[in-house]
Amino acid sequence: MSAEFFERTRTGIRNYCYRVLGKEHCKNTLFDILTFPHKNLKEALESNEEYSGSFTTPRIRQTYHKSQKLFEKITAAKEDTIKWFQYLLESNDDRFIIQNVEARISEKPTNKDLWKLYIEFLKEKDTEDKTATTYYYNSLMVNKDNLNFEGIQSVYICHVIIIELWHYTIHDPQNLILSNIIPKLKYLDLRILKINRQNISTSDYEFLTNSGNIEKIVFHGRISDARKNPISLENIFKPLSKATDIELQTKVTITPNSWKILVSNKKEFKTNFIYFPDCDSIDYFDFIEYLLHNCADNSHVVYPHVANGIEMENGIRCVVENAKQENIKFFPKIDLRNYYAGMPKFVLFESYL
């Protein structure tokens, strides 16, 4: 039970009590609400008296006072991480401790002292307990005020990584902060990856996106192999089958088969927005065909390549003609524009049908 009642309102507690009224476990359940600290203990005591069908015994009142006193200590120590954690431990309720630490970590994910205390706490638990808490850390956000991860050996992240370092240039040493964090990551199933001004290796990129569950990615920086060559076009898009928002402000390598491979790998989910990576050449036909099959209706696409307007027009018309011959009925509306001012804009495929 424990922390599920931590933020319950008076009405919420009474409604719960009403649901268990008359059941065999009613009395034990009502007592259990008093055994851990939370802000509604007084209401819980009153509900115990009203719904348990018995008088308030000395044991019940003693339990209430003990929990209330501990709650006051925890609340008073909120700004002192070490004391706050020590008071949590006094509850002797692992679930209560874990849920409250998780809640605080989600608010301040780079609280180094709390991480150290929590990791040591988990180490003392048996294997089953540690496994059960593997997924405790849902997101990691790093900005200019949160750069020091020294002393943290293991970070478990489920869904989100955000690195926002806007005031640094791409050549600043801080653009390696993500590479310093990656070795500490023990579990990833990312849905959102938002990274600004970072240099990472192709293997780091593969590690971050390996789950194949990325829904939104914003990357501004460099992704390169051991020889400093940029990641290829097909490999940067390969793990993004489920992504509906893709912003890749980075340089990519175009191999002889890059565009053909990209077109052949149909996405699982249609994309609402794509900022294409910078590349030395565009196969206009394959580029437009990729958009036809993988973009949602009313989507937006930006590409930074200095394009030839006539060749783009020809590519669009060829794709439309082929699609008609293949009896394709649906043509999404796509706002296609170039990053550079003065370049032609296109509305696909409405004006070409």
Q: Where are the beta strands (DSSP E) in 91-214?
A: 139-142, 155-156, 160-163, 185-187, 192-201
Query: Mind listing the pLDDT tens digit for each residue in 134-182?
Result: 334 445 555 545 545 554 555 555 577 877 665 444 455 455 567 777 7
Confidence (pLDDT) at 96: 83
Q: DSSP for 26-90?
A: HHHHHHHTTSS--TTHHHHHHHHHHHSSS---HHHHHHHHHHHHHHHHHHHTTT-HHHHHHHHHT
Tokens describing residue 112: 């180094």
Name the helix (H) or strand (E) containing 135. none
H-helix or E-strand spanning residue 337:
strand 334-338
Q: How far apart are CA 350 and CA 353, in angstroms?
A: 6
Prediction pTM value: 0.61
- Helix (H/G/I), strand (E/B), else coil: 244: coil
Cα-to-chain-centroid distance, residue 38: 29
Contacts of 60 (CB under 8 A, 6+ apart): 31, 34, 45, 48
pLDDT in tens, 321-333: 999 998 988 899 9
Q: How would you label 238-251 residue by residue, b for 16+ Cβ within 10 Å and e otherwise?
A: bbbebbbbbbbbbb
Q: Domain ranges for the chain, please list them.
A: 1-76, 230-353
pLDDT digits (tens, 9 = 90+) for 82-134: 999 999 999 888 878 887 887 787 677 667 788 778 777 876 765 444 443 33
